[in-house]
Amino acid sequence: MTDDSTPAFFSQSHAPEDRQRWAVKIEYDGTGLVGWQRQKTGLSVQQLLEEAASRMAGGRTVPSITAGRTDARVHATGQVAHLDFPISLPLNPRAVRDGLSYHLKPHPVVVLQAASVDPTWSARFSATRRRYRYRLLNRPSRPGIEAGRVWHVRHPLDVPAMHAAAQSLLGTHDFSTFRAVACQARSPVRTLDRLDVTRGGEMILFDVEARSFLHHQVRNLVGTLQLVGCGRWDAERLRTALEARDRCAGGPTAPSEGLYLVGVDYDPDPFG
Amino acid sequence: MTDDSTPAFFSQSHAPEDRQRWAVKIEYDGTGLVGWQRQKTGLSVQQLLEEAASRMAGGRTVPSITAGRTDARVHATGQVAHLDFPISLPLNPRAVRDGLSYHLKPHPVVVLQAASVDPTWSARFSATRRRYRYRLLNRPSRPGIEAGRVWHVRHPLDVPAMHAAAQSLLGTHDFSTFRAVACQARSPVRTLDRLDVTRGGEMILFDVEARSFLHHQVRNLVGTLQLVGCGRWDAERLRTALEARDRCAGGPTAPSEGLYLVGVDYDPDPFG
């Protein structure tokens, strides 16, 4: 019997002490997914995770909150969410991890770790840092093995130039230039803690860290830095674009398939 | 008009000087493929490559020979083959590379490099070394992003023990213990030049090199070393198994999806 009504979660049939909040660390291949958030257009990570949790809760609804609502085709190796079970699970963290992963089959979504957390702990609001990695395959030939997992750019990119220019974006700024028009954040001000650009063979990695990000911020930063890498922009132009506080002054949005949410930090770490 | 008869290649309609042999370096995701060799059961790399080449040769048959006939679901980042075009292609290496890759769409098979070679050069017989990498994901959770690209082993494996034991297999030996029953090689004697086992986080890599390998040799070596890694076998037992020269004395065959043909060496390098 499935109970889809959210109020049942607060009903008197379950005393508050029976409820349990679990934090989960998740990995997924976003290729065939519509992103984190439920959509009518296809399978979302949220739907798959909540349905897996529901099966462990005897069919009851288990709502979730995530640290980062990734877009369609974005991947994650360290996404974090919390699940509010309407019942107390008589299980240890390993059993919750394995149970959820079992019910997530055959989808490429897997729970890496699970931890029982205090009801005041939030995957979203307790996060102190989000870490993203963007992978760009820089070679003439299109990706074979990495199709759907990288942004493919044929022309050679100047990695030291991109890295050097990127450093001027660190710190606290109004990032309107790199913010999606649809972004719902109240403030366009964010503090960028890291934006490292490195090359390993044909792969260029962008490692980006901040307490929080604006919608499309990482992809817009990467898409704009790519203009520096191919020589169309210099570091001065990048700085001018930031100061314009206008999305029209920025470069294009890099494709979603190169983006990975690699980690979310908490203090203390619920999984530690 | 397609000419499927091999003799046409030698027909008098094309003088020998019109024929051209091209070496190609290829990358592929073997997940949906039946392996290198043509099969009636599904798509093979050979079929896809030869059909792409045929389109560049006006529909004429273009036979190929490979350095390594990889099994179903085995991947490659540096497979090498040669193609015998019945006509001289008025194209430079980049155009041949891009043309073949174009006609290989939408399959996850891509040509990385192409080089015109002497008709006496053979992708198979001129090879001086084959290099394979086997990837094993060693963690409790099944693979999400790497599904189909690794062997997943849940229990922790002792990498130093596997590496140490593996060193006793280096050199020239009768490798019958690690040879598939179906292997068609005349001799079971091979010279193993490298078998390094290393760990990078949750990923264990087996880097294996030899002039040539027996059928399933790398997968049988990895499957047997895994018994050392989980403590069921010690180094002495591995050595005894090798000396038994009997497939029944060896461990299981590791799954094909963890195997990558990463390179084939030639002297001189046609792509150099």
Instruction: Let me know if residue B7 belongs to a domain.
Output: no
pLDDT at B11 over 50: no
Among A4, A18, A29, A71, which one carries the catalytic annotation? A71
| B211 and B113 share one domain | no
pLDDT tens digits, B209-232: 999 999 999 999 999 999 999 999
For residues B71, A32, A109 and A77, what is the CA-based torsion angle, rounded to 10 degrees? Answer: 90
| B154 and B209 share one domain | yes
Number of domains forming the structure of chain A: 2
- B71: pLDDT confidence band, cut at 50, 70 and 90? very high
| B144 and B245 share one domain | yes
Can you give the pLDDT at residue A16?
54
Residues of chain A with confidence (pLDDT) below 70: 1-17
Mutate which: A70, A141, A262, A271, vs B, most B CBs within 10 A: A141
pLDDT tens digits, A72-108: 999 999 999 999 999 888 899 999 999 999 999 999 9
Instruction: Let me know if residue B191 belongs to a domain.
Output: yes
CB-CB under 8 Å, B75 with A141: no
- Distance set, CA B72 to CA A59, A184, B31, B94 (Å): 40, 48, 8, 29
Can you give the pLDDT at residue B17?
61
Mutate which: A45, A138, A142, vs B, most B CBs within 10 A: A142
CB-CB under 8 Å, B141 with A110: yes
| A247 and A152 share one domain | yes
Mean of pLDDT values over B67-74: 96
| B163 and B223 share one domain | yes
Which ipTM was obtained for this model?
0.89
Can you give the pLDDT at residue B75?
98
Residues 6+ apart with CB under 8 A from B172: B189, B190, B191
A248 three-class SS? helix
- B5: pLDDT confidence band, cut at 50, 70 and 90? very low
| A33 and A84 share one domain | yes
CATH of the domain at A39: 3.30.70.580
Can you give the pLDDT at residue A106?
96
| A102 and A204 share one domain | no
Can you give the pLDDT at residue A8?
41
| B135 and B71 share one domain | no
Instruction: Let me know if residue B23 belongs to a domain.
Output: yes
- Its domain, for residue B97, covers 16-125
- Strand B64-66 versus strand B171-174 pairing type: unpaired
- B18: pLDDT confidence band, cut at 50, 70 and 90? confident
